[in-house]
Structure 1
């Protein structure tokens, strides 16, 4: 018997965002069957959750497992069987944190920045900041790190205070040179 006869590409939840709303209802029904308690969203909370769930910020790296777990958490923590906006906000923050860790598991930023800051960091900025931190950690001084990071542009600049440029860049993320060299 040949199993490798047909090949199917099944899109993930992130690629089929139109499936999120009906599956949200399905997961609430599953929770009710499993736990014997019917839980619903208030209108604003449902709108907020769906707005996030269908946005580009929602990675859904665990596909339907992430959605099922998310609904279970909100239903479990909902006061009086009603998922409210506070519950949704907490869950959205948790999912952002989860997916930011998935996206940058080894970038070295988790010990330096609070989870809220990591969750709101654009992937572009995260990669760049991770590289800057790595250069800083391998450099003896702030000036040395600045010269390495700004090597191409320093020849074109009239003022080449690379240490000041680097210090200001780090401050945008609430970081200081001293915290990078001892972390």
Structure 2
């Protein structure tokens, strides 16, 4: 059964420990008890607690000093101090050291429940704020998952069914097909939608810091670790963690990730504390992980753990009917972003898009539309804008030149040379063996003079 959180009650009075255990266990908390400072230190070094209830008058221990130690060892835990000598001075001192709340003996079961619930909510809000700060830039300008083709409809149907479970999902497909967007959509359709969505880019993280990014670290764990760091797994608690391009992680990290996936427990770098995490895992790759397993570059047991539900995203060239819809969406988005009065794309440009192979998939189409918007000189983007935007037509399915007029062949050759010269008409004229005036007249006749 899922617990509401892990609580440590530190008090030398057996009656208070027993009563507290009964009250909090009935509320669904996982409760550990300590009667001495030594027991408390041992438990705190081995486990992470969401809330710690600390009696400030323990035999042979200075309560405020122990509070300072707890905050140093586990800054994310919320400490509620307990004392029978609840003076204002003690309360102020405890709060200055980071205590979340203050309970004075004798306290009722209701007061205990309320103090723990408030402290747990404070921890949730603290982690949520940390998560939001770390992902604010990622959320800005996020693209929707667009598509009406039969291939995309099948993908979305599988995603919707997968979202209703807590099973691990593996997304496969070429770079730029939208695996990250689909991962977020699965999260937003799932019962975990109110929890965080934390993305880990396995392709850009420095290998030596990967473990710290995933599991966090304690102060002094390695050179440069000047403070505690909360890892991605802990940030994703209650939500979804997404591993993008998971095929790039090293074998030693694969082993540690396997343990975290299987046991839903992690340990920060430099610490033996066990942190329990409740996360849903989605992974994505542009590699054939089965081939990576056969080549010995990816662990077979981790592959099977990740590949519970598999969803393949087709490349854009296999869903060409979505190109006009995507182009229209990106046009509107970037016209607004750049403040350009551009509201349409000519049929000729759409036709060129439909012939192109799009090796960079949706991401390449998006970048192309943004460049077209930036360089557009008219409200409707036309063929004359393509070479200014650097649109490469080499990937298009070629039209046989014997079916073209002589003028069309000349036009295409001149435009290829212009693109190669990055729009420099003087240089292009030299390469073509004509003067600049003749080139300008030809471009003007074709409606391409700028």
Q: Same fold (TM over 0.5)?
A: no
Q: TM-score, normalised by structure 1?
A: 0.45
Larger-Rg structure: 2
Q: TM-score, normalised by structure 2?
A: 0.20
Name the structure where helix makes up a greater proportion of residues.
1
Name the structure where strand makes up a greater proportion of residues.
2
